[in-house]
């Protein structure tokens, strides 16, 4: 077992301000960045604020930016860095900072509330739901999401433009719309809710310019852009830009 | 005098895992204004770690399954120490709880005819576990989370406020359940982000805080599992039941350190993985107990043939029950034949081609590759026992999930005891969360509706708030020579792991109790740096109180029970004793609390279990009952 | 409270917004994040320069039996006469410019609105964003919500137009089995080039996200449409290689044109295989 001292720069501060602080920390074989942060807490900075839970890449709590890239700290192995490299850890830079590596991610919980929930089909009793495996697989991929919010963090629409936060739900929640729209038993349309239309008009699908950073950072390997966002854009085209549908709506409007 | 914000709710649910969220949904649907206290972010609960599935006898794959069979399996798994009425309700209600999830949007894997697919699991007679790949726990949490959001959307439509009737307090922790007289009157909480204290006044409180694994060094549990609910109940005067039963999973990762304790699924062994010691020997053949001799292979050749031809060969001893395997690994390591990092080798790399490993065990392949940089197709894994689950917990009424002696206090999920007896079957925990989470929410809401009258709601006294605030702030006022909470925590984990771990001995447990007393003394001096805003050192210092209390319960109960049963293995009392079958061990707080921190905090009380209802006993063969039940029970 | 640097007062709204962690750098990436957008931009730029020159050249696009894919089908009267080839005088004599301009609109539109190329040029040319977690230099961003970028939604109609164009290029490829005297049953190096090109063109066209949607992506229940589900599965597999196909077909189409140019300008003679 080999041990070495690594150089770290960790952002410490709060909403008032802060700075990158230098630390030299012992690193053991097979460790991940989160282990190093824990060692910092136990030996040098007992009040270093950090979120984490499962430490196995399953809960999506320990999101941060390591050398400028949005990552789960528990899934970033130290062996991927040079021993001489200085490793920089900062909080997520798209959300308001609370303290040290902890940010206020309430934006995401607000957006979650704005997506209308699953609408159960009328007249189908619990236990009587029948769905084919091939029909649930698309939505199942999206339900692998562990809500680490790395996609929300990296998406330039809100990362670089605070003012877009009101209009744009972000990849995670557009994917949620896609998940529900592809759910074989979702009865939203029977209830008068057109998810394709709302994706565009209420959740800001048009802001997405499919530059795929969400897919790049997803620790679950979900093909967010190809399997959720683009299909959703195509579904919106069905509704809004299909000339026949458009013509129909024009005529309908004139009548109305 | 501490000035704290007070809010009024009908039901407060402490914990936002499967049980807590299910309880909150039920309470809100029954009309109670419900608050959920969530120690971390909403949707991050430890429930997400559950892989296997939810056990429910829907009979979708084998229609021979029904609640009676499920009940029987559960009782056998728990070595008949289960609170039988809970096991019965659980088996009966689990299918409805699973189906209900579908109406909230859950997407389980399907059978060819479109129903919920069910898989086999250890101890279950039929394929019974509803699942979504190997991420069933995540599906469960997400579905419940989204149902809560759905209810909040309804409230928004009605009241213009998402949180009018159901609110989740994220990253908040309860340090005390408050009482007026005997009755629950609310909870004292702090918010991690700001360190601010607040009080939720409510006549009914549901504890759903999960387990205690963080008291052990090697555990599959996350940091939240510090036994908060167990401790809150004790401090409020409610007893804990059979705390000696802690399940150790035989194969947790031991190397590298970053992943120590994370589970290696049983199917690695089921698919051909073998256990070897440092000498390269398949040692499990030396550890087949006499009672299992005729059921397991005697040679490697026979064991290897079983994978292909299970009908004409006996299974290899790697597939003995969890406790046997864990014990064997423990013995090999103690005899100096362990792997470099204190485990043994679990090898599939020499057993099947790399392609087959990747196809059969994709999640394990990725788990080792991504978390540990170990290629299991090329080298063996190092594994060892890891603390996984506590069967013991708060003593509750089977029907209502109400705790004993504290009106208004309820408990559900891992924090509640009784349901699983001395050993839990895989898949029974997720269904437990749903069945008893719902019951706790239901009865808490009913109690709150009743409890509000005629004497009015129980009041929260300023004195109690002041005491709770002073207790919570103590770590900031530590004198010179304050103890580092991280160091104390590590020592506690070592103590519990080494002395009250998987194999227990009288002398070691007695020593553990002494060490715990010493740790209590030092914990009273625990101090932290910095301020109250998101300060993990402070949070740990507060959690230490809970872990120390719970650890004392485990050690004391384990010392008392002089037999081996399920998740309690005594080297000095290796046999399961029928005379212990009807005995429950209750941990009660010493009252009044002694001033000396070194003094015992817990006293044990023996009670007799309620006789099992005759029609349920009739589900078993007489010959089987004779093995379990005490002499006098057989003639009752 | 943490001490240290003052909050940098730069452009508000992005990573330097007052609410966010006070970090002066626009990004902290230590890898060569600029390499991918730079290579993309260089590659696209090279193609634009080359294709602009060739499209306006109005010369050297036919060397029997090969017609440059930039000029097929040829829709004006001023087209070179291509025996049995893709002459289709729709526009008559009033069109005086290069006939390539008439037809290139469609493949250009198809590629311009393609979901992969959008990513490539938004990142490479517009730096929106230049790379993940690297702050973009723009103060405002409305994405594809308004004119002109809202027109990106017309991708599907360009896909419809790209299919017949690919069909005509297939026809052109069949014609390459003639020799320079229009006799059938021959094959040259150019034929091989054209075969590779048309295969890549079709693979790129059919791997399109719109095609995937039309084939089956729009369905709610695959189980009720087994044939379309299978088609969707095929397109999905191709679609996962959409980026590679976009580049490969872009290069192959330029190569084919350049090969025809070499032949037509007499710089090279087509080696005959049989």
* Residue A120 with chain B: CB contacts under 8 Å: 103-104
Q: What phi, psi does B200 have (nearest 5°)? A: -105, 115
In B391-509, at which residue ranges do the beta strands (DSSP E only) sit?
393-394, 409-411
Nearest CB among A34, A50, A113 relative to B162 is that of A113
Asked, for residue C120, whether it belongs to a domain, the answer is: yes
Neighbours of chain C (3+ CB pairs under 8 A): A
Residue B230: active-site member: no
* Residue B222 with chain A: CB contacts under 8 Å: 53-55, 59
DSSP 3-state of C49: helix
Residue-wise pLDDT for B468-506, tens only, equals 999 999 999 887 789 999 999 999 999 999 999 988 999
Nearest CB among C28, C145, C213 relative to A207 is that of C145
pLDDT given for residue A1 in this prediction: 57
DSSP 3-state of C128: coil
Asked, for residue C116, whether it belongs to a domain, the answer is: yes
Q: State the pLDDT confidence band at C83, using cuts at 50, 70 and 90.
A: confident
Asked, for residue C216, whether it belongs to a domain, the answer is: yes
Q: In angstroms, rounded to a whole number, what is the distance separating the alpha carbons of residues B96 and A125?
A: 11
Asked, for residue C1, whether it belongs to a domain, the answer is: no
Is A206 within 8 Å of C150 when comparing Cβ atoms?
Answer: yes
Say if residues B403 and B410 touch (Cβ distance below 8 Å). Answer: yes
Q: In angstroms, rounded to a whole number, what is the distance separating the alpha carbons of residues B247 and B291?
A: 21
**Which of B267, B265, B264, B285 shows the shortest CA–CA distance to B276?**
B285
Name B387's Cβ contacts closer than 8 Å, sequence gap at least 6.
B213, B216, B218, B219, B220, B221, B246, B247, B248, B261, B497, B501
CB atoms within 10 A of CB B626: 12
Cis peptide before C268 (omega within 30 of 0): no
Alpha-carbon distance A93 to nearest alpha carbon in chain C (angstroms): 6
Q: Which residues 92-111 of C are in CB contact (within 8 Å) with A?
A: none
In chain A, the residue whose alpha carbon lies closest to the alpha carbon of C28 is A68
pLDDT given for residue B368 in this prediction: 86
Is A118 within 8 Å of B104 when comparing Cβ atoms?
Answer: yes
**For chain B, what's the residue count?**
636
Quickly name the fold that domain A106-255 has: Fumarate Reductase Iron-sulfur Protein; Chain B, domain 2 (1.10.1060)
In chain C, at which residue ranges do the beta strands (DSSP E only) sit?
62-63, 66-67
pLDDT given for residue B315 in this prediction: 84
- Residue B420: which region, alpha, beta or left (left: phi > 0; alpha: psi -120 to 50)? alpha
Asked, for residue C3, whether it belongs to a domain, the answer is: no
Alpha-carbon distance A163 to nearest alpha carbon in chain B (angstroms): 23
String of DSSP letters for B308-334: H-TTTSPBPGGGS-HHHHHHHHHHHHH
C-alpha distances (whole Å) from B443 to each of B180, B409, B450, B627 are 20, 10, 10, 37
Cα angle, residue C234 at apex, residues C228 and C235 outer, rounded to 5°? 85
DSSP 3-state of A152: helix
Say if residues B414 and B230 touch (Cβ distance below 8 Å). Answer: no
* Residue A15 with chain C: CB contacts under 8 Å: 19
Is B259 within 8 Å of A47 when comparing Cβ atoms?
Answer: no
- For C36, the enclosing helix (H) or strand (E) is helix C35-57
Q: State the pLDDT confidence band at C6, using cuts at 50, 70 and 90.
A: very low
Report the DSSP pairing between strands A69-72 and A97-99.
unpaired
**Rg over CA atoms, chain B:** 24
The answer to pTM > 0.90 is: yes
Is A59 within 8 Å of B44 when comparing Cβ atoms?
Answer: yes
Residue-wise pLDDT for B28-42, tens only, equals 999 999 999 999 999
Domains (ranges, CATH) in chain B? 16-49+70-106+141-245+389-463 (3.50.50.60), 248-387 (3.90.700.10)
Q: Which of B87-101, B349-363, B448-462 has the lowest mean pLDDT?
A: B448-462
Q: Which residues 109-168 of C are in CB contact (within 8 Å) with A?
A: 115, 118-119, 122-123, 128-129, 132-136, 138, 140-146, 149-150, 153-156
String of DSSP letters for C209-231: HHHHIIIIIT-S-GGG-HHHHHH
- Mean pLDDT of the region B76-81: 93
Asked, for residue C30, whether it belongs to a domain, the answer is: no
Residue-wise pLDDT for A199-249, tens only, equals 999 999 999 999 999 999 999 999 999 999 999 999 999 877 766 666 666
Using the predicted structure, report yes or no on whether residue A255 has a pLDDT greater than 70: no
Domain boundaries, chain A: 3-103, 106-255
Is B142 within 8 Å of A98 when comparing Cβ atoms?
Answer: no
Q: Tokens 């499990």 belong to which residue? A: B284
Q: Which of B27-31, B348-352, B533-537 has the highest mean pLDDT?
A: B27-31
In chain B, the residue whose alpha carbon lies closest to the alpha carbon of A140 is B107
Using the predicted structure, report yes or no on whether residue C2 has a pLDDT greater than 50: no
- Mean pLDDT of the region C224-245: 97
pLDDT given for residue B455 in this prediction: 66
Q: In angstroms, rounded to a whole number, what is the distance separating the alpha carbons of residues C129 and C134?
A: 7
Q: What does the buried/exposed string (b/e) look like for B377-409 if buried means 16 or more CB atoms within 10 Å of the residue's CB?
A: beebbbbbbbbbbbbbbbbbbbebbbbbebbbb
In chain A, the residue whose alpha carbon lies closest to the alpha carbon of C37 is A211
Q: In angstroms, rounded to a whole number, what is the distance separating the alpha carbons of residues B221 and B47?
A: 10
Domain assignment of residue C126, given as a range: 35-264
Report how many domains make up chain C.
1
Asked, for residue C19, whether it belongs to a domain, the answer is: no
- Mean pLDDT of the region B195-221: 95
pLDDT given for residue C10 in this prediction: 46
Q: In angstroms, rounded to a whole number, what is the distance separating the alpha carbons of residues C15 and C23?
A: 8
Say if residues B316 and B297 touch (Cβ distance below 8 Å). Answer: yes
* Residue B535 with chain A: CB contacts under 8 Å: 47, 49
Asked, for residue C213, whether it belongs to a domain, the answer is: yes
What's chain B's average pLDDT? 93
Q: In angstroms, rounded to a whole number, what is the distance separating the alpha carbons of residues A12 and A50?
A: 11
Q: In angstroms, rounded to a whole number, what is the distance separating the alpha carbons of residues B146 and A118?
A: 8
Report the DSSP pairing between strands B34-37 and B11-14.
parallel
In chain A, the residue whose alpha carbon lies closest to the alpha carbon of C135 is A160
- Mean pLDDT of the region B441-452: 90
Is A109 within 8 Å of B170 when comparing Cβ atoms?
Answer: yes
User: Within its chain, how far is the Cα of B599 from the centroid?
Assistant: 28
Is C29 within 8 Å of A69 when comparing Cβ atoms?
Answer: yes
* Residue C145 with chain A: CB contacts under 8 Å: 204, 206-207
* Residue B107 with chain A: CB contacts under 8 Å: 131, 136, 139-140, 143, 183
**Which of B512, B497, B503 shows the shortest CA–CA distance to B568?**
B503
DSSP-derived secondary structure letter, C132? T
Q: Tokens 């406790």 belong to which residue? A: B323
Cis peptide before C65 (omega within 30 of 0): yes
Q: State the pLDDT confidence band at A251, using cuts at 50, 70 and 90.
A: low
Nearest CB among A132, A160, A241 relative to C154 is that of A241
Q: In angstroms, rounded to a whole number, what is the distance separating the alpha carbons of residues A186 and A129?
A: 11
Is A90 within 8 Å of C149 when comparing Cβ atoms?
Answer: no
Nearest CB among A85, A217, A237 relative to C153 is that of A237
Q: Which of B69-83, B184-198, B312-326, C161-175 has the lowest mean pLDDT?
A: B312-326
Q: In angstroms, rounded to a whole number, what is the distance separating the alpha carbons of residues C161 and B494?
A: 71
Q: Show the tokens assigned to B621.
A: 């063969």
pLDDT given for residue B311 in this prediction: 78
- Mean pLDDT of the region A62-73: 97
Alpha-carbon distance C171 to nearest alpha carbon in chain A (angstroms): 30
Burial of B321 (0-12, 13-18, 19+ CB in 10 A): middle
Residues above pLDDT 70, as percent of chain B: 99
pLDDT given for residue B279 in this prediction: 95
In chain C, the residue whose alpha carbon lies closest to the alpha carbon of A15 is C19
**Rg over CA atoms, chain A:** 22
Neighbours of chain B (3+ CB pairs under 8 A): A
pLDDT given for residue C8 in this prediction: 45
Q: Show the tokens assigned to C125.
A: 């040319």
Choosing from B30, B97, B131, B269, the catalytic residue is B269
DSSP 3-state of B118: strand
Sign of CA dihedral B82, B88, B91, B96: negative
Residue-wise pLDDT for C132-182, tens only, equals 999 999 999 999 998 899 899 999 999 999 999 999 999 999 999 998 889
Residue-wise pLDDT for C121-134, tens only, equals 999 999 999 999 99
Is A129 within 8 Å of B193 when comparing Cβ atoms?
Answer: no
pLDDT given for residue C96 in this prediction: 86
DSSP-derived secondary structure letter, B470? H
Choosing from B22, B249, B556, B565, the catalytic residue is B249
Residue B249: active-site member: yes
List alpha helices for B502-630, DSSP H. Answer: 506-523, 536-560, 614-617, 622-628
Is A53 within 8 Å of B224 when comparing Cβ atoms?
Answer: yes
pLDDT given for residue A254 in this prediction: 45
Torsion angle, CA of A160/A166/A171/A173, rounded to 10 degrees? 160
Is A113 within 8 Å of B535 when comparing Cβ atoms?
Answer: no
| N- to C-terminal Cα separation, chain B | 58
Residue-wise pLDDT for A20-63, tens only, equals 999 999 999 888 999 999 999 989 998 899 999 988 889 999 99
Is B222 within 8 Å of A75 when comparing Cβ atoms?
Answer: no
Q: How many alpha carbons fall within 13 Å on the CB side of residue B293?
A: 3
- Asked if CATH classification 3.10.20.30 holds for the domain at A3-103, the reply, yes or no, is yes
DSSP-derived secondary structure letter, C81? P
Q: In angstroms, rounded to a whole number, what is the distance separating the alpha carbons of residues B248 and B387?
A: 4
C-alpha distances (whole Å) from C246 to each of A216, B332, C114 are 19, 59, 9
């Amino acid at each position: 077992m080999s041990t070495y001292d690594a150089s770290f720069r960790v952002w410490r501060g709060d909403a008032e301000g802060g700075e990158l602080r230098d630390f030299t920390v012992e690193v053991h074989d097979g460790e991940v960045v989160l282990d190093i942060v824990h060692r910092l807490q136990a030996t040098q900075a007992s009040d270093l604020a950090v979120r984490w839970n499962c430490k196995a890449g399953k809960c999506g709590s320990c999101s941060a930016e390591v050398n400028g890239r949005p990552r789960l700290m528990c899934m970033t192995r130290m062996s991927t860095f040079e021993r001489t490299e200085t490793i920089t850890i900062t909080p997520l830079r798209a959300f308001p900072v609370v303290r040290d590596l902890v940010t206020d991610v309430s934006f995401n919980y607000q957006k979650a509330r704005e997506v209308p929930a699953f609408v159960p089909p009328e007249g189908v009793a619990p236990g009587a739901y029948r769905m084919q495996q091939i029909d649930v697989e698309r939505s199942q991929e999206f339900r692998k999401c562990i809500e680490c919010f790395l996609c929300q963090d990296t998406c330039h629409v809100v990362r670089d433009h605070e003012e877009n936060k009101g209009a744009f739900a972000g990849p995670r929640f557009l994917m949620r719309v896609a998940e529900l729209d592809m759910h074989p038993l979702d009865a939203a349309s029977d209830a008068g809710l057109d998810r394709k239309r709302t994706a565009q008009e209420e959740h800001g699908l048009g802001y997405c310019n499919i530059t795929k950073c969400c897919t790049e950072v997803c620790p679950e390997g979900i093909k967010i852009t190809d399997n959720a966002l683009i299909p959703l854009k195509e579904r919106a085209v069905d509704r809004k830009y299909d000339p026949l549908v458009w013509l129909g709506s024009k005529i309908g409007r004139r009548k109305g | 005098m501490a000035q704290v914000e007070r809010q009024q709710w009908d039901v407060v649910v402490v914990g936002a895992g499967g049980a807590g969220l299910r309880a909150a949904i039920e309470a809100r649907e029954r009309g109670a204004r419900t608050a959920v206290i969530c120690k971390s972010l909403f949707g991050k609960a430890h429930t997400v770690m559950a892989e296997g599935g939810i056990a429910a006898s829907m009979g979708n794959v084998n229609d021979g399954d029904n609640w009676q069979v499920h009940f029987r399996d559960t009782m056998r798994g728990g070595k008949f120490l289960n609170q039988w009425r809970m096991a019965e309700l659980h088996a009966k209600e689990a299918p409805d709880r699973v189906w209900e999830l579908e109406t909230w949007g859950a997407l389980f894997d399907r059978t060819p005819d479109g129903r919920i697919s069910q898989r086999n699991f250890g101890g279950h007679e039929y394929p019974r576990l509803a699942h979504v790949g190997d991420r069933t726990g995540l599906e469960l949490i997400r579905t419940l989370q989204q149902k809560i959001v759905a209810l909040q959307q309804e409230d928004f439509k009605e009241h213009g406020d998402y949180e009018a009737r159901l609110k989740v307090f994220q990253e908040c922790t309860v340090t005390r359940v408050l009482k007026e007289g005997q009755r629950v009157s609310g909870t004292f909480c702090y918010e991690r982000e700001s360190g601010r204290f607040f009080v939720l006044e409510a006549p009914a409180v549901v504890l759903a805080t999960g387990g205690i694994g963080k008291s052990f060094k090697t555990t599959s549990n996350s940091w939240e599992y510090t036994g908060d609910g167990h401790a809150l109940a004790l401090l409020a005067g409610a007893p804990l039941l059979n705390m000696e039963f802690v399940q150790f999973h035989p194969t947790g990762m031991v190397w590298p350190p970053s992943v120590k304790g994370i589970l290696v699924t049983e199917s690695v062994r089921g698919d051909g993985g073998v256990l070897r010691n440092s000498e390269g020997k398949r040692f499990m053949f030396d550890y087949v107990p006499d009672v299992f001799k005729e059921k397991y292979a005697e040679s490697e050749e026979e064991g290897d043939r079983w994978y292909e031809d299970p009908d004409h060969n006996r299974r290899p001893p790697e597939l003995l029950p969890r406790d046997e395997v864990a014990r064997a690994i423990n013995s090999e390591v103690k005899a100096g034949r362990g792997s470099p990092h204190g485990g043994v080798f679990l090898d599939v790399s020499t057993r099947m081609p790399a392609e087959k490993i990747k196809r059969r065990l994709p999640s394990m392949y990725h788990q080792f590759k991504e978390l540990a940089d170990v290629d299991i197709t090329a080298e063996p894994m190092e594994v060892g026992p890891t603390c996984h689950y506590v069967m013991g917990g708060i003593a509750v009424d089977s029907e209502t999930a109400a705790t004993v002696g504290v009106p208004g206090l309820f408990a559900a999920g891992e924090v509640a005891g009784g349901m699983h007896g001395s050993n839990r079957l895989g898949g029974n925990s997720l269904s437990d969360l749903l069945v008893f989470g719902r019951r706790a929410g239901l009865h808490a809401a009913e109690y709150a509706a009743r409890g509000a009258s005629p004497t009015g709601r129980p009041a929260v006294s300023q004195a109690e708030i002041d005491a709770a605030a002073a207790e919570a702030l103590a770590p900031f006022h530590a004198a010179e020579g304050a103890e580092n909470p991280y160091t104390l925590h590590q020592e506690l984990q070592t103590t519990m792991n080494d002395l009250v771990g998987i194999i227990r001995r009288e002398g070691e447990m007695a020593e553990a109790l002494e060490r715990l007393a010493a740790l209590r003394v030092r914990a009273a001096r625990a101090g932290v740096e910095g301020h109250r805003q998101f300060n993990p050192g402070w949070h740990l210092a507060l959690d230490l109180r809970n872990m120390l209390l719970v650890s004392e319960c485990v050690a004391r109960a384990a010392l008392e029970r002089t037999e081996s049963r399920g998740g309690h293995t005594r080297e000095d009392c290796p046999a399961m004793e029928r005379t212990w079958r009807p005995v429950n061990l209750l941990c009660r707080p010493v009252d009044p609390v002694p001033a000396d921190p070194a003094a015992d905090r817990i006293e044990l009380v023996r009670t007799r279990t309620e006789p099992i209802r005759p029609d349920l006993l009739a589900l078993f063969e007489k010959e089987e009952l004779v093995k379990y039940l005490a002499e006098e029970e057989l003639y009752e | 409270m943490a001490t240290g640097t003052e909050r940098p007062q730069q452009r508000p709204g992005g990573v330097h917004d007052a609410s966010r962690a006070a970090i002066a750098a626009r990004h902290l990436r230590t890898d060569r994040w600029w390499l991918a957008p730079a290579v993309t931009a260089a590659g696209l730029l090279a193609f634009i320069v080359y294709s602009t020159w060739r499209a306006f050249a109005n010369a050297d696009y036919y060397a029997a039996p090969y017609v440059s894919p930039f000029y097929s089908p040829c829709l004006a009267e001023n087209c070179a006469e291509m025996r049995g080839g893709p002459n289709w005088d729709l526009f008559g004599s009033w069109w005086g410019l290069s006939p390539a301009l008439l037809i290139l609109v469609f493949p250009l539109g198809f590629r311009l609105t393609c979901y992969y190329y959008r990513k490539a040029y938004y990142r490479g040319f517009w730096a929106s964003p230049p790379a993940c977690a690297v702050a973009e230099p723009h103060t405002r961003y409305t994405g594809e919500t308004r004119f002109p970028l809202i027109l990106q939604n017309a991708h599907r109609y360009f896909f419809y137009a790209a299919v017949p164009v690919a069909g005509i290029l297939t026809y052109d490829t069949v014609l390459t089995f003639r020799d320079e005297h229009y006799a059938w049953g021959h094959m040259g190096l150019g034929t091989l080039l054209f075969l590779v090109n048309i295969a890549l063109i079709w693979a790129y066209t059919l791997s399109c996200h719109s095609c995937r949607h039309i084939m089956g992506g729009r369905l709610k229940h695959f189980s009720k449409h087994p044939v379309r589900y299978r088609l969707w599965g095929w397109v999905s597999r191709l679609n996962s290689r959409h980026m590679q196909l976009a580049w490969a077909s872009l290069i192959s189409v330029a190569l084919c044109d350049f090969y025809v140019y070499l032949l037509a300008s007499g710089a090279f003679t087509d080696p005959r295989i049989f």
